[in-house]
Amino acid sequence: MTTTPSPAPPFGRALCAMITPFTEAGSLDVDGAQRLAERLVSEGCDGLVLSGTTGESPTTTDAEKSELIRAVREAVGDRASVVAGVGTFDTRHTVELALAAEKAGADGLLVVAPYYSKPPQDAVEAHFREVADAAGLPLALYDIPGRTGTRIEPETLIRLAEHPRVVAVKDCSYDFLGAQKVLSRTELAYYAGCDEHNLALYAVGGAGYISTVANVVPAQLRAVLDAFEAGDTPVSARLQQRATPLIELMMSAGLPGSVTAKALLHELGLPAGPVRAPLRPARREAVDGLLAAYQELVTD
């Protein structure tokens, strides 16, 4: 019996939710962003997601977002996809950012559910349709109700999948059953947005991941998917388990991923810079714990 290979995911399989490097004075570090992007791609990332949660999008300006896209596009060329976070709580502003991202050279758009105002599902659906109609790029819908206060319900995703430019989901819903329901009824590419789900979602038909932890260990996370693709499920499981202590410290220890990723990158001598207020840097005790977990993962 022959099987038809699965279509390639629209933005690649191993994507990094890249931090936005800043200078010590707090301005956008364009050179640092290019150097970090180059490292991430050379160590296994097939895509970079800019100006998402980890990229501190609420505190970067529209002009900085476009400048970041242009800089990263120049650095990576066509070796990796560049997906731009453009979601806001304002549909009109989101459309403006989508058009600017397209002009700046992005390959796709990450559009988060409208936050704070808690619109009902028909309004959420209308928001995404308006952005998809206005933009010429494919969309990944970002379902992260813990931050937005609004879920993109599975039935809403199933309806939105009918739009030709809605092609993917970044899933931070913690609803594994809901994700499988959408996978079974649509052709949407599902990306794990929570690193502890990278292998689990991939194993049931997900497209890959959009990872914060990949900022510091891109090769180690890519190896999980590669082992699974090679048919070695026990090895992929072991590799995922080995990464779990670092994943937990970076994502579930009380600090935002942008804070922990920048703390580790700074310790490794890689571009990062400070976080912008209201975020604050990690304290020394937290940094020491992160560094110990990182060293154990990469040296074992």
Active site residues: 142, 170
The residue behind tokens 């209308």 is 126
Please give the angle made by the CA atoms of 226, 232 and 233, to the nearest 5 degrees: 95
22 in Cβ contact with 277 (< 8 Å): no
Is the bond into 278 cis (omega within 30 degrees of 0)? Answer: yes
Q: Contact, 79 vs 39, CB < 8 A?
A: no
- Residue 219 burial by CB count (10 A; 0-12/13-18/19+): exposed, middle or buried? middle
Residue 174 is encoded by which pair of tokens? Answer: 């913690």
Phi, psi torsion values for 101, nearest 5 degrees: -65, -40
**Residue 279 backbone dihedrals phi, psi, to 5 degrees:** -65, 155
> Alpha-carbon distance 277 to 60, whole Å?
11
Compute CA distances 146 → 116, 135, 183, 282, whole Å.
11, 27, 22, 22
